[in-house]
Structure 1
């Protein structure tokens, strides 16, 4: 246990985390206040969109935001409820009820922590760019569609049992929409959207979303209308308590928790990686980031919150505002905590349609047309991977979409790598040609040789015609797996069975052990058929052809003198000749 704690020492908070704070505290303070103001409507909106309450979204932003800032592996990551997590939580709430979310959050947090402790943080690097962007596009579409029930009725549950699929639920809501309420809600959405578009053009630091919400809230209070509001929000945080987990439901909730954990890990690491490329704030530790996000979700569950992840939009706002240490993220959480204790009354009067307007704009801004255009015009395979990942995200499940996208990318990558494996049958072109060379063929290998390309390589080499000697040139062979080595052994055996002598030239030191273990070298007729340079191999091949032709001429001569009673020549094929430059024992 002690050794494990020593090995995991770098996964926990340290004084080094705040080394730059004396120089950057002013910028961090301003950035924290700025991102706290921006995060307020998002936290409220994501709480409502998840099928939970605005209070739970706000609690998550406070507790998880604070814990992730302290324990996480990024110096600038801002964490809290996100749109991607909303997409996963909606079907969980629909299937198991809102009361199950705290238990799912606790289980998911423990799973994410375990992933970090097992040092699996770098796994996210295998996710290709088209998969990430397709995943992001799909999430943006889902977030957009999830807001439609909020603007079609004062109570989204009234129109009937809505599907857990965002697209189906949006269609159901539109078909049963209250026309009067829809007009009022669209007006609120338009005001918020206009403020979010115009405010940054006046000055980048103006929080357009917060201004838009305030305008709509004031208008809703002054003008009699049907717009539903958030409702009362407690003026303090609830007392922490461990969520109760029904043992009978544990088996049912674990798959849901695993999905949440996978999404939390993927989104947090992607967000931290992007943040690290936006400013010089120090490298992030992916394993510590997972531990920190796990601690954050566990802490949120104790206060009745929802799962949290790193949020790239809020992190970007914080960086643009000047954040350089994790103190900015801590200040962001404290600003939201102050809102709970000071302004819970006004927050409860915010119309739900105003929050929907913020999330509509958030979804739109998640889609970068330049990026979509770049992927679609890059390669056909990447375009298909991007499109399929986005469609599966919208239609089925986020984690399944990522897995399918990665699998497709792996297939494309393997197919491309297989095409780089070069194998060519080459006639001998020596500086001093010999008539013996017509009976010799060199087979040049180039690039990797592994299971994907092995069958094509085997078929190509075995098409060699009627020759006496084949020289396998392996000096340019790169990575070889067991299947590739086995195919080489099969090639040697197959050619030898046809009476063709095989010589191997240029076995690299990195391949020699594998070739011995798999049987490539043992398949050679003689241990002297292994060479370092081509000149020695060619000299040996010519001597072999010369002896073979001499034996054939002797045999023909003996057949032409039957009267002499001489027996036909039985001179055996010999592999002797010049010594190879290098031969294994």
Structure 2
């Protein structure tokens, strides 16, 4: 008689955080009814994603088919492997600036390699359970660079909005607008009219018929009008030629150590943006359907999706908040909806790839103007302008550096500035108060008598004792020793209001203790909380 296999042990919390939501969905009961609902939701999202993917690819300096490939490959994997039930993945506006700059500086092969690297970084971040730490990026930084990206996306569409005749558009923000001004005489009235009409139509659809696929209807209508009226406007076909109607074979770009070093900053930026936006989108989705996503599984899925997208020649991808919300409003409740949306886009590519060449670029530019407007988050930006001065500085620095310098620099400077502002605020909490009660009545009576006799002096430290506050606290404690005469036998330092101590704080206390000992004064630390007591003991300071 053979032994039956023992039941599998329940997954640990660490392993459970990496389990895809698709597995959870399929193993907890999934029938025909939910499947049919998810298919319809996937079809709705695919109709929205189709024109948007092409528009974002063009804005990024790539060809429209690259955006569609990204939706098919990355969109499918983000849903299949991700930690959110309803997350929809694909190219987003956040990547436009980074992708455009990488292509300009390193070519499309450089973008492929940077995306491969970003995929590996994201997967490692998920496996090492770093998903929870991304939420510590301050809101002013996120809002600042998001608003900056919105300005850049709008700027990148001016050429197609106005139908300007230009051989190329400079990457630098100010050079770009100078080039637009220089080409102002080539403005095409038909392109202006078509883009304005499309923009108005999209706004009206959102206002009066939000359930209809306004993007697709407007793009299709503009294509028919431009073709029948033979309008002298640029189309996808006239600029990019015939689109591929099939997925390309996967391939790896040339890889060398020098190339990896050169593209490392871009890869880190792509990974950061993909991680932040996907987890923000997952949080929004949680609020809409009342579930909780698995952040580490989401990062692993983002890593696999970006790696695979790059292998097939696609763009970087992440969770798309607007498309995820569309999925939820359309009834999608499982990862099957996101997987279906990718399959439907693939079907559209295979069946209608030829017809996409007739799409006017002015209509796609109108779509991206709406994308930029939504990304700008003007109400939130205005609200943050009423925040404390430090937050306003972080917001404006992140915004201006994104627009005028580089997104990588903007994020780095914004996070560092936010950290400095936070440390300054924490340092202001540090201080010393004299003559406070420490213990029970009987014990305190003894101390009062000792203080009255000049033998003991009591002080209470307050605030976190860390490197940002160390210098100021050192000066305060040193002032207690300003005079070598009239010192008590004992300094009692009450640590009740000190929640944490770091190495610099320990150094301040050690220096103060050693100087007191030289004057024959004993230092006693009392009412020390758990973390400070543990650190002080580990570093050899008597508690």
Instruction: Quickly name the TM-score band, shorter chain normalised.
Output: 0.7 to 0.9
The verdict on how the C-alpha distance between 1:147 and 1:29 changes in structure 2, with shifts beyond 3 A counting, is: same
Do 1:152 and 1:178's aligned partners in 2 also have CA atoms closer than 8 Å? no
Aligned counterpart for 1:448 among listed residues 454, 464, 474: 464
1:330–1:513: structure 2 CA closer, same or farther, 3 Å change rule?
Answer: closer
Q: Distance in 2 between matches of 1:346 and 1:392?
A: 40
User: Which position in structure 1 is the counterpart of 2:235?
Assistant: 229
1:169 paired residue number: 176
* Distance in 2 (alpha carbons) for counterparts of 1:461 and 1:355: 65
Superimposed CA distance per residue, residues 170-199 of structure 1 (whole angstroms, 9 cap, x where no aligned partner): 331232234342x22221221111111111
Q: CA deviation at 1:386?
A: 1.2
> 1:16 is matched with which residue?
24
Q: Distance in 1 between matches of 2:93 and 2:24?
A: 32
Q: What is the RMSD computed on CA atoms of the aligned residues?
A: 2.8
Report the secondary structure of 1:473's partner residue. strand
Maintained 8 Å contact 2:70/2:309: yes
User: Normalising by the residue count of structure 2, what TM-score does the alignment of the two structures yield?
Assistant: 0.86
Matched, 1:261 2:271: yes
Q: Is 361-370 or 455-464 further displaced after alignment? A: 455-464
Q: Distance in 1 between matches of 2:360 and 2:248?
A: 27
Residues in 2 aligned to 1:501 and 1:26: alpha-carbon distance in whole angstroms? 77
Please point out which of 430, 433, 444 is paired with 1:424.
433
Q: Which structure has the larger Rg? A: 1
Q: 1:117 aligns with which of 127, 130, 135?
A: 127
Given the superposition, is the C-alpha separation of residues 277 and 400 from structure 1 closer, same or farther in structure 2, using an over 3 Å criterion?
farther
Match of 2:40 among 11, 30, 50: 30
Choose the corresponding residue for 1:69, options 79, 98, 112.
79
Going from structure 1 to structure 2, the CA distance change for 1:140 and 1:497 (only over 3 Å counts) comes to same
SS of corresponding position for 2:184:
coil
Say which is worse superposed, 502-511 or 228-237, in terms of deviation: 502-511
Q: How do 1:458-537 residues align onto structure 2 when only pairs under 5 Å count?
A: 458-464=474-480, 466-469=486-489, 470-508=491-529, 510-521=531-542
Aligned partners of 2:164 and 2:183 also within 8 Å: no
Q: CA deviation at 1:66?
A: 1.0
- Which structure has the higher relative contact order (CA within 8 Å, separation 6+)? 2
Find the aligned partners of 2:78 and 2:497 in 1 and give their Cα distance: 49
User: In the alignment, which residue of structure 2 is the partner of 1:45?
Assistant: 55
Distance across 1 between alignment mates of 2:62 and 2:361: 13
Give secondary structure in 2 for the equivalent of 1:11. coil
Matched with 1:202 is 208
Q: Is 1:86 aligned to 2:107, yes or no?
A: no
Distance 2:287 2:437 in 1: 53
SS in 2 for 1:480: coil
Shift in Å at residue 337 of structure 1? 1.5
Count how many residue pairs are aligned between Structure 1 and Structure 2.
513
Partners of 1:105 and 1:435 lie apart in 2 by: 69
For structure 2, the 5+ residue unaligned runs are 1-10, 439-443
Relative to structure 1, the CA distance from residue 458 to residue 251 in structure 2 (aligned partners, 3 Å threshold; closer, same or farther) is: closer
Matches within 5 A, 1:300-319: 300-319=309-328
Give the Å deviation of 1:454: 1.9
Q: Distance in 2 between matches of 1:239 and 1:511?
A: 59
- Counterpart in 1 of 2:118? 108
